[in-house]
Amino acid sequence: MFVNKNDIRPFDKKVWLSSPTMHGDEQKWVNDAFEKNWITTAGENINEVEKLVAQYAGMKYAVALSCGTASLHLATKLAGEKLYGQAKPNCGTLQGHKVFCADMTFDATINPVAYEDGEAVFIDTERDTWNMSPEALEKAFELYPDVKLVVLVHLYGVPAKIDEIRAVCDKHGALIIEDAAESFGATYKGRETGCFGDYSAISFNGNKIITGSSGGMFLTDSKDDADKVRKWSTQSREAAPWYQHEEIGYNYRMSNIIAGVIRGQMNFLDEHIAQKKAIYERYKEGLKGLPVTMNPFDEKNSSPNFWLSCLLIDKDAMCRQVRGENEALYIPEKGKSCPTEILETLASFNAEGRPIWKPMHMQPIYRMNGFVTVSGNGRGQSNAYIDRGEATDIGADIFERGLCLPSDNKMTPEQQDIIIELIRSCFE
């Protein structure tokens, strides 16, 4: 049964995609930093947060950094140095080498490859978890057997096919960088994401499952790696009475104020995950009967943190939608809809959704990079899809038919019911 959109009033207060949820403990630890005057990039909150996160993730060492991107950068720099030795002057540690990278992700995952003078080759997505396809990865190694580094992501908090990817990487002697920025608290075969990479990173950005307003964490079981990242992140200062530098450094350390916020949030990670899971399940139930499916995960082996709930519209239920570089248009059609129509409808009722993260191989900045798909000829397909109005690689297809739904853990069931009705009305 369809509800008439005209009977629904816009939300008085915006329903967000995913906004910070504070509980009070955060303020306590921020005040503690003020009282002790540790208003800097050192202090008790930082030490405590490193301990808490390492414990939670089941890793020996955690290094608190200014953001997830900084964590990924230093992970990438470490991997490059390990693989190719110390970089020549004026050159990043990847020294022109190719790196296999997740394609459907936020660009922060793979920009560090460029920072370190590597060349990203994008690997298409699989349909079971919307992450890197192990088959496409295997094919990529056939095309480029010399590659020694793979960057994977657990998109929207859904663990990737870790065992399969690890098996392919082991076979070809490649290291893994794991971007767990969105998946803190998600598990795969009972182990936390963030412990599957040779180098792993999580994020505490404002929209993540828990937040410090910003902040990131580098995770490792290697003391040497942890020490190195800590040193690089504090301008690579040598142990001398004066500022002594033998390597290029960065100002990437976490602030003790931000660490106070994260310290307070840590107790609520499990609660946030439970709320996000309830949201996902309510959507799944509420959208039954519509020609859509929710973002999938491996129900047997993985337990996502359900950071964002997403949906995918069936192919034959898509109305015509055209996306340029900055704008989208669609033609309404009875019984059909598209992400643009749903997002515009939600926005007009003061609720925030978002398109699926646009795949990297479709981004202007990475248009010249390689792209490997299982189905065929790789690079060039994204243009073919624009010409013919249909996607032939999996990433472009999910981008075209999928969208992220309002997933804020402060959204009430009543608000979510209204959002579900609005989505239903789009298929009228």
Ligand X SMILES: *Cc1c(COP(=O)(O)O)cnc(C)c1O
Q: Catalytic residue positions?
A: 208
Q: Contact between 181 and ligand X (CB under 6 A)?
A: yes
Q: Pseudo-torsion of CA 320, 322, 327, 328, nearest 10°? A: 10
DSSP 295: P
Q: Provide the terminal-to-terminal Cα distance of the chain, rounded to the nearest Å.
A: 9
Residue among 26, 50, 179, 341 that touches ligand X (CB under 6 A): 179
The residue number with the shortest CB distance to ligand X is 68
Q: How many residues make contact with ligand X (CB under 6 A)?
A: 15
Is the CB of 134 or the CB of 216 nearer to ligand X? 216
Residues 6 or more apart from 141 whose CB is under 8 A from it? 100, 147, 168, 171, 172, 174
CB of 244 to ligand X, least distance (A): 29
> Which range binds ligand X by CB under 6 A, 34-42, 102-110, 117-125, 296-304?
102-110
Within 197-226, the residues that bind ligand X by CB under 6 A are: 203, 205, 214, 216
> Which range binds ligand X by CB under 6 A, 100-108, 239-247, 262-270, 310-318?
100-108
Q: Contact between 185 and ligand X (CB under 6 A)?
A: no
Which of 152, 201, 140 has its CA nearest to residue 176?
Answer: 152
Structure tokens belonging to residue 147: 């590659």
Report how far residue 104's alpha carbon sits from residue 332's, in angstroms, rounded to the nearest whole number: 27
CB of 300 to ligand X, least distance (A): 24
Within 43-82, the residues that bind ligand X by CB under 6 A are: 67-69
Is the CB of 203 or the CB of 220 nearer to ligand X? 203
Residues 6 or more apart from 55 whose CB is under 8 A from it? none
Q: Contact between 106 and ligand X (CB under 6 A)?
A: yes
CB of 130 to ligand X, least distance (A): 12
Instruction: Label residue 333 exposed, middle or buried (CB < 10 Å: 0-12, 13-18, 19+).
Output: middle
Q: Furthest-apart CA pair in the chain: how many Å?
A: 75
Which of 149, 104, 161 has its CA nearest to residue 371?
Answer: 104
Could you tell me how many residues make up the chain? Answer: 428
CB of 214 to ligand X, least distance (A): 6
- List residues near ligand X by CB under 6 A: 67-69, 105-106, 108-109, 153, 179, 181-182, 203, 205, 214, 216
